[in-house]
Structure 1
Protein backbone atom coordinates (compact mmCIF):
# COMPACT_ATOMS: atom_id res chain seq x y z
CA UNK A 1 0.00 0.00 0.00
CA UNK A 2 2.88 2.36 0.83
CA UNK A 3 4.48 1.68 -2.57
CA UNK A 4 1.14 2.39 -4.30
CA UNK A 5 0.78 5.70 -2.44
CA UNK A 6 4.33 6.74 -3.39
CA UNK A 7 3.80 5.69 -7.01
CA UNK A 8 0.54 7.67 -7.23
CA UNK A 9 2.26 10.72 -5.73
CA UNK A 10 5.16 10.52 -8.19
CA UNK A 11 2.81 10.14 -11.16
CA UNK A 12 0.69 13.10 -10.00
CA UNK A 13 3.78 15.31 -9.55
CA UNK A 14 5.15 14.30 -12.94
CA UNK A 15 1.83 15.17 -14.59
CA UNK A 16 1.74 18.51 -12.75
CA UNK A 17 5.28 19.38 -13.86
CA UNK A 18 4.53 18.42 -17.48
CA UNK A 19 1.38 20.57 -17.41
CA UNK A 20 3.28 23.55 -15.96
CA UNK A 21 6.03 23.16 -18.56
CA UNK A 22 3.50 23.19 -21.39
CA UNK A 23 1.70 26.23 -19.95
CA UNK A 24 4.99 28.12 -19.61
CA UNK A 25 5.92 27.17 -23.17
CA UNK A 26 2.60 28.44 -24.56
CA UNK A 27 2.83 31.70 -22.60
CA UNK A 28 6.38 32.29 -23.82
CA UNK A 29 5.21 31.74 -27.40
CA UNK A 30 2.60 34.47 -27.12
CA UNK A 31 4.88 37.39 -26.21
CA UNK A 32 7.23 37.11 -29.24
CA UNK A 33 4.19 36.62 -31.48
CA UNK A 34 2.63 39.85 -30.19
CA UNK A 35 5.94 41.75 -30.51
CA UNK A 36 6.50 40.50 -34.06
CA UNK A 37 3.07 41.67 -35.24
CA UNK A 38 3.39 45.07 -33.51
CA UNK A 39 6.83 45.76 -35.00
CA UNK A 40 5.42 44.90 -38.44
CA UNK A 41 2.72 47.53 -37.94
CA UNK A 42 5.26 50.16 -36.87
CA UNK A 43 7.55 49.31 -39.78
CA UNK A 44 4.66 49.98 -42.18
CA UNK A 45 3.90 53.29 -40.41
CA UNK A 46 7.46 54.58 -40.88
CA UNK A 47 6.88 54.85 -44.62
CA UNK A 48 3.52 56.58 -44.18
CA UNK A 49 3.76 58.81 -41.10
CA UNK A 50 7.06 59.05 -39.24
CA UNK A 51 5.54 61.01 -36.32
CA UNK A 52 2.88 58.38 -35.71
CA UNK A 53 5.56 55.70 -36.01
CA UNK A 54 7.58 57.45 -33.31
CA UNK A 55 4.49 57.70 -31.10
CA UNK A 56 3.86 54.00 -31.68
CA UNK A 57 7.39 53.14 -30.58
CA UNK A 58 6.90 55.09 -27.36
CA UNK A 59 3.63 53.30 -26.62
CA UNK A 60 5.20 49.95 -27.46
CA UNK A 61 8.05 50.70 -25.06
CA UNK A 62 5.54 51.44 -22.28
CA UNK A 63 3.57 48.29 -23.01
CA UNK A 64 6.63 46.04 -23.15
CA UNK A 65 7.88 47.45 -19.86
CA UNK A 66 4.61 46.35 -18.25
CA UNK A 67 4.56 42.98 -20.00
CA UNK A 68 8.15 42.08 -19.14
CA UNK A 69 7.41 42.35 -15.44
CA UNK A 70 3.85 41.05 -15.32
CA UNK A 71 3.84 38.20 -17.85
CA UNK A 72 6.47 36.36 -15.81
CA UNK A 73 3.99 36.09 -12.92
CA UNK A 74 1.70 33.08 -12.71
CA UNK A 75 -1.26 35.37 -12.04
CA UNK A 76 -1.98 39.07 -12.33
CA UNK A 77 -5.10 41.03 -11.36
CA UNK A 78 -7.96 41.43 -13.82
CA UNK A 79 -7.39 45.19 -13.73
CA UNK A 80 -3.75 44.78 -14.72
CA UNK A 81 -4.68 42.44 -17.57
CA UNK A 82 -7.37 44.84 -18.81
CA UNK A 83 -4.87 47.73 -18.68
CA UNK A 84 -2.54 45.74 -20.96
CA UNK A 85 -5.40 45.20 -23.41
CA UNK A 86 -6.19 48.93 -23.35
CA UNK A 87 -2.56 49.86 -24.06
CA UNK A 88 -2.48 47.36 -26.89
CA UNK A 89 -5.68 48.80 -28.42
CA UNK A 90 -4.24 52.35 -28.18
CA UNK A 91 -1.16 51.13 -30.02
CA UNK A 92 -3.18 49.47 -32.76
CA UNK A 93 -5.39 52.54 -33.25
CA UNK A 94 -2.36 54.59 -34.28
CA UNK A 95 -2.25 52.79 -37.62
CA UNK A 96 -5.95 53.48 -38.30
CA UNK A 97 -7.61 56.69 -39.46
CA UNK A 98 -10.14 58.81 -37.59
CA UNK A 99 -13.11 56.97 -39.12
CA UNK A 100 -12.25 53.83 -37.13
CA UNK A 101 -15.11 53.06 -34.70
CA UNK A 102 -13.70 51.55 -31.51
CA UNK A 103 -15.29 50.92 -28.13
CA UNK A 104 -13.82 49.18 -25.10
CA UNK A 105 -16.28 48.70 -22.25
CA UNK A 106 -15.16 47.11 -19.00
CA UNK A 107 -17.23 46.27 -15.91
CA UNK A 108 -15.31 44.50 -13.16
CA UNK A 109 -17.10 43.62 -9.94
CA UNK A 110 -13.75 42.66 -8.38
CA UNK A 111 -10.79 44.17 -10.30
CA UNK A 112 -8.38 42.41 -7.91
CA UNK A 113 -9.51 38.94 -8.97
CA UNK A 114 -6.53 37.01 -10.35
CA UNK A 115 -6.11 35.62 -13.87
CA UNK A 116 -3.34 34.16 -16.01
CA UNK A 117 -1.43 36.93 -17.87
CA UNK A 118 -2.41 37.67 -21.49
CA UNK A 119 -5.04 34.93 -21.56
CA UNK A 120 -7.50 37.11 -23.51
CA UNK A 121 -4.91 39.02 -25.57
CA UNK A 122 -5.26 36.82 -28.72
CA UNK A 123 -8.99 37.64 -28.93
CA UNK A 124 -8.28 41.35 -28.58
CA UNK A 125 -5.49 41.13 -31.12
CA UNK A 126 -7.67 39.25 -33.59
CA UNK A 127 -10.46 41.83 -33.31
CA UNK A 128 -8.10 44.76 -33.86
CA UNK A 129 -5.97 43.16 -36.55
CA UNK A 130 -8.59 41.84 -38.96
CA UNK A 131 -11.18 44.62 -38.79
CA UNK A 132 -9.69 47.01 -41.36
CA UNK A 133 -12.02 47.53 -44.30
CA UNK A 134 -10.01 49.03 -47.21
CA UNK A 135 -13.21 50.23 -48.91
CA UNK A 136 -15.40 51.34 -46.03
CA UNK A 137 -15.82 51.93 -42.33
CA UNK A 138 -13.96 49.70 -39.89
CA UNK A 139 -15.03 48.97 -36.34
CA UNK A 140 -14.17 46.90 -33.28
CA UNK A 141 -16.42 46.80 -30.20
CA UNK A 142 -15.13 44.95 -27.14
CA UNK A 143 -16.88 44.30 -23.82
CA UNK A 144 -15.40 42.62 -20.74
CA UNK A 145 -17.63 41.86 -17.76
CA UNK A 146 -16.71 40.08 -14.53
CA UNK A 147 -19.28 39.13 -11.91
CA UNK A 148 -18.56 36.64 -9.15
CA UNK A 149 -16.24 34.00 -10.57
CA UNK A 150 -17.57 34.46 -14.12
CA UNK A 151 -15.61 36.44 -16.71
CA UNK A 152 -17.22 37.30 -20.04
CA UNK A 153 -15.49 38.63 -23.15
CA UNK A 154 -17.53 39.72 -26.16
CA UNK A 155 -16.21 41.34 -29.33
CA UNK A 156 -17.70 42.33 -32.64
CA UNK A 157 -15.60 43.65 -35.50
CA UNK A 158 -15.74 44.24 -39.23
CA UNK A 159 -14.30 41.12 -40.82
CA UNK A 160 -11.56 41.74 -43.38
CA UNK A 161 -8.67 39.35 -42.58
CA UNK A 162 -5.40 40.12 -44.33
CA UNK A 163 -4.21 37.16 -46.40
CA UNK A 164 -0.56 37.80 -45.55
CA UNK A 165 -1.21 37.62 -41.82
CA UNK A 166 -3.39 34.53 -41.54
CA UNK A 167 -0.47 32.26 -40.62
CA UNK A 168 0.83 34.76 -38.06
CA UNK A 169 -2.54 35.13 -36.36
CA UNK A 170 -2.96 31.38 -36.17
CA UNK A 171 -0.25 31.10 -33.52
CA UNK A 172 -2.03 33.47 -31.16
CA UNK A 173 -5.43 31.81 -31.46
CA UNK A 174 -4.10 28.25 -31.35
CA UNK A 175 -2.03 29.10 -28.27
CA UNK A 176 -5.10 30.74 -26.73
CA UNK A 177 -7.24 27.62 -27.18
CA UNK A 178 -4.50 25.30 -25.87
CA UNK A 179 -4.10 27.43 -22.74
CA UNK A 180 -7.87 27.40 -22.20
CA UNK A 181 -7.97 23.61 -22.50
CA UNK A 182 -5.08 23.18 -20.09
CA UNK A 183 -6.15 25.69 -17.44
CA UNK A 184 -9.96 25.80 -17.66
CA UNK A 185 -10.93 22.42 -19.11
CA UNK A 186 -14.68 22.01 -18.61
CA UNK A 187 -14.95 25.52 -17.13
CA UNK A 188 -15.20 27.71 -20.21
CA UNK A 189 -17.32 28.33 -23.30
CA UNK A 190 -15.80 29.78 -26.47
CA UNK A 191 -17.57 30.46 -29.73
CA UNK A 192 -16.91 32.33 -32.96
CA UNK A 193 -19.52 33.39 -35.52
CA UNK A 194 -19.56 35.49 -38.69
CA UNK A 195 -22.86 37.24 -39.35
CA UNK A 196 -23.24 39.72 -42.24
CA UNK A 197 -19.45 40.30 -42.43
CA UNK A 198 -19.27 40.86 -38.66
CA UNK A 199 -16.86 38.63 -36.74
CA UNK A 200 -18.21 37.81 -33.27
CA UNK A 201 -16.20 36.24 -30.45
CA UNK A 202 -17.68 35.12 -27.14
CA UNK A 203 -15.79 33.69 -24.20
CA UNK A 204 -17.11 32.76 -20.76
CA UNK A 205 -14.65 31.57 -18.13
CA UNK A 206 -15.49 30.29 -14.67
CA UNK A 207 -12.41 31.43 -12.79
CA UNK A 208 -10.91 29.10 -10.22
CA UNK A 209 -11.54 29.94 -6.59
CA UNK A 210 -7.82 29.73 -5.75
CA UNK A 211 -7.19 32.65 -8.15
CA UNK A 212 -9.25 35.02 -6.01
Structure 2
Protein backbone atom coordinates (compact mmCIF):
# COMPACT_ATOMS: atom_id res chain seq x y z
CA UNK A 1 0.00 0.00 0.00
CA UNK A 2 2.82 2.41 0.93
CA UNK A 3 4.63 1.57 -2.31
CA UNK A 4 1.47 2.24 -4.35
CA UNK A 5 1.03 5.64 -2.69
CA UNK A 6 4.60 6.58 -3.57
CA UNK A 7 4.03 5.56 -7.20
CA UNK A 8 0.83 7.63 -7.38
CA UNK A 9 2.61 10.63 -5.82
CA UNK A 10 5.40 10.53 -8.40
CA UNK A 11 2.87 10.06 -11.21
CA UNK A 12 1.04 13.23 -10.17
CA UNK A 13 4.31 15.11 -9.71
CA UNK A 14 5.50 14.10 -13.17
CA UNK A 15 2.22 15.16 -14.81
CA UNK A 16 2.28 18.62 -13.23
CA UNK A 17 5.98 19.10 -14.04
CA UNK A 18 5.21 18.34 -17.68
CA UNK A 19 2.26 20.73 -17.70
CA UNK A 20 4.21 23.56 -16.05
CA UNK A 21 7.16 23.10 -18.40
CA UNK A 22 5.09 23.01 -21.61
CA UNK A 23 5.55 26.75 -22.44
CA UNK A 24 9.31 26.44 -22.09
CA UNK A 25 9.35 23.30 -24.24
CA UNK A 26 7.16 24.85 -26.95
CA UNK A 27 9.14 28.11 -27.00
CA UNK A 28 12.55 26.41 -27.04
CA UNK A 29 15.10 28.60 -28.84
CA UNK A 30 12.92 31.71 -28.54
CA UNK A 31 12.90 34.55 -26.04
CA UNK A 32 9.59 34.17 -24.16
CA UNK A 33 7.84 37.07 -22.44
CA UNK A 34 8.34 35.97 -18.80
CA UNK A 35 5.72 38.32 -17.34
CA UNK A 36 3.08 37.20 -19.82
CA UNK A 37 4.03 33.57 -19.23
CA UNK A 38 3.64 33.93 -15.46
CA UNK A 39 0.41 35.95 -15.60
CA UNK A 40 -1.41 34.02 -18.29
CA UNK A 41 -0.10 30.49 -17.80
CA UNK A 42 1.75 29.69 -14.57
CA UNK A 43 -0.63 31.50 -12.21
CA UNK A 44 -3.78 29.95 -13.77
CA UNK A 45 -2.04 26.56 -13.84
CA UNK A 46 -1.33 26.86 -10.12
CA UNK A 47 -4.99 27.68 -9.49
CA UNK A 48 -6.06 24.73 -11.67
CA UNK A 49 -3.89 22.43 -9.52
CA UNK A 50 -5.44 23.81 -6.32
CA UNK A 51 -8.97 23.30 -7.66
CA UNK A 52 -8.09 19.80 -8.86
CA UNK A 53 -6.71 18.62 -5.51
CA UNK A 54 -9.39 20.45 -3.53
CA UNK A 55 -11.92 18.27 -5.34
CA UNK A 56 -9.77 15.16 -5.52
CA UNK A 57 -9.01 14.96 -1.80
CA UNK A 58 -12.00 16.69 -0.21
CA UNK A 59 -15.05 17.84 -2.11
CA UNK A 60 -15.83 14.75 -4.21
CA UNK A 61 -15.71 12.36 -1.25
CA UNK A 62 -17.51 14.75 1.06
CA UNK A 63 -20.25 16.04 -1.24
CA UNK A 64 -20.46 14.43 -4.68
CA UNK A 65 -20.34 10.73 -3.75
CA UNK A 66 -22.78 11.19 -0.82
CA UNK A 67 -25.24 12.71 -3.39
CA UNK A 68 -24.91 16.29 -2.09
CA UNK A 69 -24.61 17.48 -5.67
CA UNK A 70 -26.04 20.98 -5.29
CA UNK A 71 -23.68 21.81 -2.44
CA UNK A 72 -20.78 20.39 -4.46
CA UNK A 73 -21.62 22.59 -7.46
CA UNK A 74 -22.08 25.74 -5.34
CA UNK A 75 -18.75 25.27 -3.56
CA UNK A 76 -16.95 24.78 -6.85
CA UNK A 77 -18.62 27.84 -8.38
CA UNK A 78 -17.52 29.90 -5.38
CA UNK A 79 -13.97 28.53 -5.62
CA UNK A 80 -13.79 29.22 -9.37
CA UNK A 81 -15.13 32.76 -8.90
CA UNK A 82 -12.59 33.37 -6.13
CA UNK A 83 -9.64 32.22 -8.25
CA UNK A 84 -10.86 34.21 -11.28
CA UNK A 85 -11.03 37.31 -9.09
CA UNK A 86 -7.64 36.54 -7.56
CA UNK A 87 -6.08 36.12 -11.01
CA UNK A 88 -7.39 39.51 -12.14
CA UNK A 89 -6.19 41.07 -8.88
CA UNK A 90 -2.68 39.64 -9.33
CA UNK A 91 -2.53 40.94 -12.90
CA UNK A 92 -3.64 44.41 -11.79
CA UNK A 93 -1.14 44.53 -8.91
CA UNK A 94 1.94 42.90 -10.40
CA UNK A 95 1.51 42.83 -14.16
CA UNK A 96 0.09 46.24 -15.01
CA UNK A 97 2.21 46.47 -18.14
CA UNK A 98 0.19 43.61 -19.64
CA UNK A 99 -3.16 45.29 -19.10
CA UNK A 100 -2.17 48.95 -19.67
CA UNK A 101 -2.76 50.25 -23.21
CA UNK A 102 0.03 52.09 -24.96
CA UNK A 103 -0.68 55.82 -25.63
CA UNK A 104 -2.81 56.43 -28.69
CA UNK A 105 -4.21 52.84 -28.81
CA UNK A 106 -7.94 53.14 -29.48
CA UNK A 107 -8.65 49.45 -29.94
CA UNK A 108 -11.35 47.78 -27.92
CA UNK A 109 -10.51 46.31 -24.53
CA UNK A 110 -10.81 42.71 -25.77
CA UNK A 111 -13.56 40.19 -26.16
CA UNK A 112 -17.00 40.86 -24.65
CA UNK A 113 -17.19 40.32 -20.90
CA UNK A 114 -19.70 37.45 -21.31
CA UNK A 115 -17.41 35.57 -23.67
CA UNK A 116 -14.44 36.24 -21.39
CA UNK A 117 -16.29 34.88 -18.36
CA UNK A 118 -17.52 31.86 -20.35
CA UNK A 119 -14.00 30.94 -21.48
CA UNK A 120 -12.63 31.45 -17.97
CA UNK A 121 -15.36 29.30 -16.43
CA UNK A 122 -14.69 26.50 -18.93
CA UNK A 123 -10.96 26.57 -18.25
CA UNK A 124 -11.47 26.47 -14.47
CA UNK A 125 -14.17 23.79 -14.73
CA UNK A 126 -11.79 21.46 -16.61
CA UNK A 127 -9.76 20.43 -13.52
CA UNK A 128 -13.04 19.81 -11.67
CA UNK A 129 -14.20 17.46 -14.42
CA UNK A 130 -10.81 15.73 -14.58
CA UNK A 131 -10.79 15.14 -10.83
CA UNK A 132 -14.33 13.73 -11.01
CA UNK A 133 -13.34 11.41 -13.87
CA UNK A 134 -10.22 10.12 -12.11
CA UNK A 135 -11.93 9.77 -8.74
CA UNK A 136 -14.94 8.01 -10.25
CA UNK A 137 -12.68 5.62 -12.15
CA UNK A 138 -10.75 4.83 -8.98
CA UNK A 139 -13.97 4.23 -7.07
CA UNK A 140 -15.25 1.97 -9.86
CA UNK A 141 -12.00 -0.01 -9.83
CA UNK A 142 -12.14 -0.31 -6.05
CA UNK A 143 -15.80 -1.37 -6.19
CA UNK A 144 -15.02 -3.91 -8.90
CA UNK A 145 -12.11 -5.29 -6.86
CA UNK A 146 -14.35 -5.53 -3.80
CA UNK A 147 -17.03 -7.24 -5.87
CA UNK A 148 -14.56 -9.80 -7.17
CA UNK A 149 -13.22 -10.30 -3.67
CA UNK A 150 -16.77 -10.84 -2.42
CA UNK A 151 -17.41 -13.38 -5.19
CA UNK A 152 -14.19 -15.19 -4.35
CA UNK A 153 -15.07 -15.17 -0.67
CA UNK A 154 -18.54 -16.48 -1.44
CA UNK A 155 -17.04 -19.14 -3.65
CA UNK A 156 -14.60 -20.24 -0.97
CA UNK A 157 -17.45 -20.30 1.52
CA UNK A 158 -19.49 -22.52 -0.79
CA UNK A 159 -16.53 -24.85 -1.27
CA UNK A 160 -16.08 -25.05 2.48
CA UNK A 161 -19.78 -25.64 2.92
CA UNK A 162 -19.66 -28.39 0.33
CA UNK A 163 -16.70 -30.02 2.04
CA UNK A 164 -18.31 -29.79 5.48
CA UNK A 165 -21.52 -31.29 4.12
CA UNK A 166 -19.70 -34.02 2.29
CA UNK A 167 -17.47 -35.18 5.13
CA UNK A 168 -20.03 -36.28 7.75
CA UNK A 169 -22.16 -38.13 5.22
CA UNK A 170 -19.69 -40.51 3.70
CA UNK A 171 -17.47 -40.67 6.78
CA UNK A 172 -20.46 -41.91 8.76
CA UNK A 173 -21.38 -44.52 6.13
CA UNK A 174 -17.77 -45.57 5.70
CA UNK A 175 -17.24 -46.04 9.42
CA UNK A 176 -20.37 -48.17 9.60
CA UNK A 177 -19.08 -50.33 6.76
CA UNK A 178 -15.64 -50.58 8.34
CA UNK A 179 -17.25 -51.62 11.62
CA UNK A 180 -19.03 -54.47 9.85
CA UNK A 181 -15.75 -55.59 8.25
CA UNK A 182 -13.72 -55.78 11.46
CA UNK A 183 -14.91 -59.30 12.39
CA UNK A 184 -15.38 -60.57 8.83
CA UNK A 185 -12.20 -59.28 7.17
CA UNK A 186 -9.79 -57.47 9.49
CA UNK A 187 -7.21 -56.91 6.73
CA UNK A 188 -9.80 -55.32 4.47
CA UNK A 189 -11.00 -53.17 7.34
CA UNK A 190 -7.41 -51.95 7.91
CA UNK A 191 -7.03 -51.11 4.22
CA UNK A 192 -10.34 -49.25 4.25
CA UNK A 193 -9.34 -47.23 7.30
CA UNK A 194 -6.10 -46.31 5.54
CA UNK A 195 -8.06 -45.13 2.47
CA UNK A 196 -10.46 -43.18 4.65
CA UNK A 197 -7.51 -41.44 6.29
CA UNK A 198 -6.23 -40.35 2.87
CA UNK A 199 -9.65 -38.97 1.99
CA UNK A 200 -9.78 -37.04 5.22
CA UNK A 201 -6.31 -35.65 4.64
CA UNK A 202 -7.24 -34.55 1.13
CA UNK A 203 -10.44 -32.86 2.26
CA UNK A 204 -8.85 -31.13 5.22
CA UNK A 205 -5.53 -29.99 3.78
CA UNK A 206 -5.55 -30.04 -0.02
CA UNK A 207 -8.90 -28.58 -1.04
CA UNK A 208 -8.39 -25.17 0.58
CA UNK A 209 -6.77 -23.86 -2.60
CA UNK A 210 -8.57 -22.45 -5.61
CA UNK A 211 -7.26 -25.17 -7.94
CA UNK A 212 -5.93 -28.68 -7.46
CA UNK A 213 -4.25 -31.05 -9.94
CA UNK A 214 -6.83 -33.14 -11.75
CA UNK A 215 -4.80 -36.25 -10.92
CA UNK A 216 -5.40 -35.67 -7.19
CA UNK A 217 -9.10 -35.14 -7.75
CA UNK A 218 -9.22 -38.40 -9.73
CA UNK A 219 -7.41 -40.23 -6.92
CA UNK A 220 -9.90 -38.83 -4.44
CA UNK A 221 -12.86 -39.95 -6.59
CA UNK A 222 -11.44 -43.46 -6.98
CA UNK A 223 -11.07 -43.87 -3.22
CA UNK A 224 -14.50 -42.41 -2.63
CA UNK A 225 -16.06 -44.87 -5.10
CA UNK A 226 -14.25 -47.75 -3.38
CA UNK A 227 -15.67 -46.67 -0.04
CA UNK A 228 -19.18 -46.32 -1.42
CA UNK A 229 -18.98 -49.81 -2.90
CA UNK A 230 -18.71 -51.22 0.63
CA UNK A 231 -22.32 -50.34 1.39
CA UNK A 232 -23.96 -51.66 -1.80
CA UNK A 233 -24.97 -55.20 -2.67
CA UNK A 234 -24.00 -57.35 -5.64
CA UNK A 235 -27.16 -56.16 -7.40
CA UNK A 236 -25.44 -52.87 -8.21
CA UNK A 237 -22.60 -52.86 -10.70
CA UNK A 238 -20.22 -49.91 -10.65
CA UNK A 239 -18.15 -49.07 -13.73
CA UNK A 240 -15.60 -46.27 -13.69
CA UNK A 241 -13.02 -45.02 -16.14
CA UNK A 242 -10.56 -42.21 -15.47
CA UNK A 243 -7.72 -40.91 -17.62
CA UNK A 244 -4.05 -40.62 -16.76
CA UNK A 245 -4.37 -36.89 -16.14
CA UNK A 246 -1.94 -34.40 -17.58
CA UNK A 247 -0.04 -32.87 -14.61
CA UNK A 248 -0.60 -29.40 -16.08
CA UNK A 249 -4.40 -29.69 -15.85
CA UNK A 250 -5.77 -28.12 -12.69
CA UNK A 251 -9.38 -27.83 -11.64
CA UNK A 252 -11.51 -26.52 -8.80
CA UNK A 253 -11.79 -29.17 -6.07
CA UNK A 254 -14.86 -31.29 -5.33
CA UNK A 255 -16.82 -30.48 -8.49
CA UNK A 256 -17.55 -34.06 -9.52
CA UNK A 257 -17.97 -35.70 -6.14
CA UNK A 258 -21.55 -34.46 -5.67
CA UNK A 259 -22.50 -36.07 -9.00
CA UNK A 260 -20.99 -39.37 -7.89
CA UNK A 261 -22.69 -39.13 -4.52
CA UNK A 262 -25.98 -38.33 -6.24
CA UNK A 263 -25.60 -41.47 -8.40
CA UNK A 264 -25.06 -43.67 -5.34
CA UNK A 265 -27.95 -42.00 -3.57
CA UNK A 266 -30.52 -42.48 -6.36
CA UNK A 267 -29.03 -45.33 -8.39
CA UNK A 268 -28.99 -48.14 -5.82
CA UNK A 269 -31.86 -50.50 -5.04
CA UNK A 270 -31.96 -53.24 -2.41
CA UNK A 271 -33.97 -55.64 -4.59
CA UNK A 272 -33.41 -54.55 -8.20
CA UNK A 273 -30.34 -54.76 -10.37
CA UNK A 274 -28.73 -51.48 -11.43
CA UNK A 275 -25.64 -50.02 -13.00
CA UNK A 276 -23.67 -46.90 -12.13
CA UNK A 277 -21.34 -45.86 -14.95
CA UNK A 278 -18.72 -43.13 -14.47
CA UNK A 279 -16.50 -41.96 -17.30
CA UNK A 280 -13.97 -39.11 -17.47
CA UNK A 281 -11.81 -38.12 -20.42
CA UNK A 282 -9.49 -35.19 -21.12
CA UNK A 283 -8.61 -33.47 -24.36
CA UNK A 284 -5.93 -30.81 -24.07
CA UNK A 285 -7.34 -28.54 -21.34
CA UNK A 286 -10.92 -29.79 -21.55
CA UNK A 287 -12.34 -32.27 -19.05
CA UNK A 288 -15.37 -34.38 -20.02
CA UNK A 289 -17.27 -36.15 -17.26
CA UNK A 290 -20.27 -38.43 -17.85
CA UNK A 291 -22.17 -40.37 -15.22
CA UNK A 292 -25.21 -42.62 -15.72
CA UNK A 293 -27.27 -44.50 -13.18
CA UNK A 294 -30.64 -46.22 -12.88
CA UNK A 295 -33.02 -43.90 -11.15
CA UNK A 296 -34.80 -45.07 -7.99
CA UNK A 297 -36.51 -42.03 -6.45
CA UNK A 298 -36.24 -41.81 -2.68
CA UNK A 299 -39.20 -41.53 -0.37
CA UNK A 300 -39.96 -38.11 1.07
CA UNK A 301 -38.99 -39.27 4.55
CA UNK A 302 -35.64 -40.66 3.34
CA UNK A 303 -32.95 -38.34 4.72
CA UNK A 304 -29.98 -40.22 3.25
CA UNK A 305 -27.52 -38.36 1.08
CA UNK A 306 -25.61 -35.19 1.73
CA UNK A 307 -28.28 -32.77 0.57
CA UNK A 308 -25.94 -31.25 -2.00
CA UNK A 309 -28.08 -30.73 -5.08
CA UNK A 310 -27.28 -30.14 -8.70
CA UNK A 311 -28.38 -26.50 -8.37
CA UNK A 312 -25.55 -25.96 -5.92
CA UNK A 313 -23.09 -27.43 -8.41
CA UNK A 314 -24.45 -25.31 -11.27
CA UNK A 315 -24.09 -22.17 -9.19
CA UNK A 316 -20.47 -23.02 -8.41
CA UNK A 317 -19.78 -23.70 -12.07
CA UNK A 318 -21.21 -20.30 -13.01
CA UNK A 319 -18.86 -18.62 -10.54
CA UNK A 320 -15.81 -20.74 -11.29
CA UNK A 321 -16.06 -21.26 -15.04
CA UNK A 322 -18.31 -18.62 -16.63
CA UNK A 323 -18.83 -19.42 -20.33
CA UNK A 324 -16.35 -22.26 -20.03
CA UNK A 325 -18.57 -25.21 -19.20
CA UNK A 326 -21.58 -27.19 -20.40
CA UNK A 327 -23.81 -29.04 -17.98
CA UNK A 328 -26.43 -31.40 -19.42
CA UNK A 329 -28.72 -33.75 -17.53
CA UNK A 330 -31.58 -35.96 -18.65
CA UNK A 331 -33.80 -38.78 -17.39
CA UNK A 332 -34.67 -41.29 -20.10
CA UNK A 333 -36.18 -44.78 -19.77
CA UNK A 334 -35.36 -44.93 -16.10
CA UNK A 335 -31.70 -43.94 -16.53
CA UNK A 336 -30.40 -40.61 -15.27
CA UNK A 337 -27.49 -39.17 -17.24
CA UNK A 338 -25.32 -36.16 -16.51
CA UNK A 339 -22.64 -34.80 -18.84
CA UNK A 340 -20.29 -32.06 -17.67
CA UNK A 341 -17.60 -30.43 -19.82
CA UNK A 342 -15.15 -27.92 -18.36
CA UNK A 343 -12.50 -25.82 -20.07
CA UNK A 344 -9.83 -25.49 -17.42
CA UNK A 345 -7.74 -22.71 -18.98
Range class of TM-score, shorter chain? 0.7 to 0.9
Aligned to 2:316: 179
Aligned to 2:288: 152
Q: What is the TM-score when the length of structure 2 is the normalising length?
A: 0.55
Residue 36 (structure 1) aligned with residue 168 (structure 2): yes
Aligned to 1:80: 216
Could you tell me how far 1:132 is from its partner in structure 2? 0.9
Note the 1:1-212 alignment, pairs <5 A.
1-42=133-174, 44-45=176-177, 50-51=182-183, 54=189, 56-108=192-244, 110-163=246-299, 164-165=302-303, 168-207=305-344, 209=345
Work out the number of aligned pairs and report it. Answer: 207
Could you tell me how far 1:171 is from its partner in structure 2? 2.4
Could you tell me how far 1:50 is from its partner in structure 2? 4.7
> Secondary structure at the residue paired with 1:135?
coil
Gaps in structure 2 of 5+ consecutive residues: 1-132
Tell me the distance in 2 between the aligned counterparts of 1:195 and 1:39.
Answer: 32
> Secondary structure at the residue paired with 2:142?
helix
* Higher deviation after alignment, 16-25 or 178-187: 178-187
Higher relative contact order (CA 8 A, sep 6+): 1
RMSD value, Cα: 2.3
Could you tell me how far 1:60 is from its partner in structure 2? 2.0
Tell me the distance in 2 between the aligned counterparts of 1:174 and 1:144.
Answer: 21
Shift of the 124–46 alpha-carbon distance from structure 1 to 2, 3 Å rule, reads: closer
Which structure has the larger Rg over C-alpha atoms? 2
Looking at secondary structure, tell me which structure has more strand per residue.
1
